[in-house]
Amino acid sequence: MTVITGDHPAERPTGVPGLRILTGGVTRLWLVALLVGCWEIIARIKQDAYFPPPSTIVRVFHELWFSGPATHLFLTDKALDDFQPSFVNLSCGWALAAVVGLALGVLLGRSGVAREILDPVLQFGRAIPPPTLIPFFIVVFDFGAQMQISTIAFGVIWPVLLNTADGVRTVEKLQLETAEVFGITGATQLLRITLPAAAPKIFAGLRVSLGFALVLMVISELIGSTTGIGAHLISSQQGMELPEMWAGIVLLGILGCLFNAVFALVERRFLSWHSNARGLDS
């Protein structure tokens, strides 16, 4: 089983967090700003229809989705139409994968028999590229949210499942023995010992699957949907509206960053013991 490790050393600085993020953001963003600046200049000189200047993209971006009334948080109707289905599908698919993956992973990590029996099935399931199942899900569910959620869930369950199984299987033996000695068994053991011990690996799996989920969300919308950000991309492609298309691409990039940031925040909250313990060890 390949497993994504939960290691990310040399992070988690101490100090005033807000200030850190701000100065860190400034030092890391200058290259982005430089590239955008170059793009702007070149695009204006070249006047190429395929590569509109960033300023145009930003304007379209704003017009399309963020020029609504203040009572709607400046979101336009189109924004609600585009964001909502995408967001719902993504969250449901990912959450479903997380819950089922976690449960199966715990089962697999705990029971050698289950591992032996299920391993070939899992290896095969994992090897199937998730988009290839879209036709199947279309047949089963027809176009729509169910099909998209199934595609996402099936595609992103593997990192969670395999990482959870590995994390649960490799819990320090002495920690389990300690639990046994002190009568920490059953559900208490699972919740207080096994899952926290496996948490670094579980979170690594969840992080990877969140990235996959975004990809599969777009793919499923590109193929079979009239709503969502993917459908917006397709319709602007068909109308040759390149600034609109670019705005969609930028939006997806921003969404990806946003999800990552929120996830990192949650992870930091739950795993601070882990990174800190490692920090002091080395």
Residues that bind other proteins in the complex, under the rule CB under 8 A: 172, 174-175, 177-178, 180-184, 188, 192-193, 196-197, 199, 273-274, 276-277, 280-281
Q: Of the two residues 5 and 188, which places its CB atom closer to other proteins in the complex? A: 188
Q: Of the two residues 12 and 59, which places its CB atom closer to other proteins in the complex? A: 12
Overall size of the chain counted in residues: 282
Residue 220 to residue 229: CA distance in whole angstroms: 10
Cβ proximity of 202 and 167 under 8 Å: yes
Residue 282 to residue 10: CA distance in whole angstroms: 10
Tell me the two tokens of residue 246.
Answer: 């670019």
Q: Give min distance, CB of 199 to other proteins, in A.
A: 7
Q: Of the two residues 139 and 174, which places its CB atom closer to other proteins in the complex? A: 174
Q: Give min distance, CB of 3 to other proteins, in A.
A: 20
DSSP symbols for 196-208 = HHHHHHHHHHHHH
Q: Of the two residues 28 and 173, which places its CB atom closer to other proteins in the complex? A: 173
Q: Of the two residues 11 and 281, which places its CB atom closer to other proteins in the complex? A: 281
Tell me the two tokens of residue 167.
Answer: 């994390």
Alpha-helical segments (H) within the chain: 17-46, 54-65, 77-110, 112-127, 134-141, 145-169, 173-181, 186-189, 195-224, 229-238, 242-281
Task: Give me the amino acid identity at 258.
Answer: L
